[in-house]
Amino acid sequence: MRRILFILEKEFRQVMRDPAILRIMFVMPVIQLVILPLAADYEVKNVRITILDHNKSSYTSQLVNKITSTNYFTLVSYARDINAAMKDIEHDNADMILEIPADFERNLVKEDEAKVFLAVNAINGVRASLGSNYLLNILRSFNDDIRVKWIQMPRMNTEPRVGTTHSTWYNVHLNYQRYMVPGILVILVTMVCSFLAALNIVREKEIGTIEQINVTPIRKHHFILGKLIPFWIMGQITLTSGFIIARVVYGIVPEGNIMVIYAFSSVYMLAILGLGLLVSTFVQTQQQAMLISFFLMMVFILLGGLYTSIESMPVWAQYIAAVNPVSYFIEVMRMVFLKGSDLSDISRHLGIIALFAVVMNSWAVMSYRKRM
């Protein structure tokens, strides 16, 4: 322990003298956690729509008013024909076209059904998919309103429809920030821990102090622990800062016990720091360490379930996500923040991350060579 304490004293002094590390640890997470959740919005608003109304009846007026009264759609123009409407899409002035046929009201009243034509600009697949789903929901709502009106004024061949109600669990108001903030916080903690740990030993190599350490009686596991513990503490400080920002800026607090997150993060940070130290034992320069860490972070983010559900990924990507530690922490954060899960609910995740931590740190100790 005495040898480890000497290493810890050296590491903390080195960190305090380096303003870049302090900025990475405190300033970067604060700025990113404030900005990213505001920009990473799952909602698609102001979808530009061109309407081609051949019917011009009271029913079509109700439908158009129902569409334009929401903040999801912006009416670009009333086109005179389909060619003019297509020009709006070709010139990127509109995202979709709704064409209402001339016999819309007659078919709706006499035959109980009417068809409309919808054309969507699908260059942006997400915007096209969500925009068309929004419009389809509005059409269903319009249809339900008409049916209810006809039921109150009975007509022939009109049958009452079954009413449905629904309830949303865990995220009642469907606030995307309650879903995104915990995941983004995981990414920030991972970046701070992995980057700092990966650069640490390499920096010793570049400035030449690694040779001085190698000739001391310090054992390999003492050296790795001395490098790991300071950044483990810094990671916990970053996590705590993130909780404060989530509370103050977004009003988000965990539904469960926050100590469950700290318990899991303690093991998780050991795993990520072990990975960063492992990278640093194989490279010779800080530039190499940064490039490898950046590559790993891209894989962690894209296959971690932050923006895309893991269940929706291809099978081969799900296998990669199964060995991605970030995916487990993101899921745990959302379980505790939204569902109020406890340690028994995250026991499987905790076991997998503990195994990952043992493997990474053992590998890092075995890979470190005291002889250059």
Quick check: helix, strand or coil at residue 24? helix
Instruction: For each of the domains in the chain, give its residue range(s) and CATH number, in order of start.
Output: 2-40+173-367 (no CATH), 47-152 (3.40.1710.10)
Condensed to tens digits (0 to 9), the pLDDT of residues 108-132 reads: 877 778 888 888 888 877 788 888 8
Alpha helices in 69-163 (DSSP H): 82-90, 104-111, 125-152
Q: Which amino acid does the sequence have at 87?
A: K
169 vs 339: CA distance, rounded Å: 9
Res 156: pLDDT: 47
Res 370: pLDDT: 52
CB under 8 A, 24+ apart: contacts of 113-121: 119/85, 119/86, 119/89, 120/95, 120/96, 121/89, 121/92, 121/94, 121/95, 121/96
Determine contact, residues 347/267, Cβ cutoff 8 Å.
no
Query: Lowest-confidence range among 37-46, 232-241, 326-335?
Result: 37-46
Span between the terminal Cα atoms of the chain, in Å:
26
Residue 199 token pair = 């650069």
269 vs 275: CA distance, rounded Å: 10
Condensed to tens digits (0 to 9), the pLDDT of residues 59-97 reads: 888 888 888 888 888 888 888 888 888 888 888 888 899
Q: Which residue has the higher pLDDT, 154 or 345?
A: 345
Residue 69 token pair = 């009264």
Determine contact, residues 20/241, Cβ cutoff 8 Å.
no
pLDDT exceeds 80 at position 180: yes
Read off the pTM: 0.76
Res 204: pLDDT: 73
Rounded to 5 degrees, what are φ and ψ at 298? -60, -40
94 vs 85: CA distance, rounded Å: 9
Strand partners for 96: 49, 120
Beta strands per DSSP E along the chain: 47-53, 73-78, 96-100, 117-120
Give residue for tokens 């954060």: 333
Confidence at 281, pLDDT banded by 50, 70, 90: confident
324 burial (CB, 10 Å; 0-12 / 13-18 / 19+) is buried
Average pLDDT over residues 180-195: 87
Res 161: pLDDT: 52
pLDDT exceeds 70 at position 182: yes
Quick check: helix, strand or coil at residue 166? coil
320 vs 298: CA distance, rounded Å: 13
pLDDT exceeds 60 at position 359: yes
pLDDT exceeds 50 at position 13: yes
Q: Which amino acid does the sequence have at 173?
A: H
Neighbour count for residue 351 (Cβ, 10 Å): 12
Confidence at 194, pLDDT banded by 50, 70, 90: confident
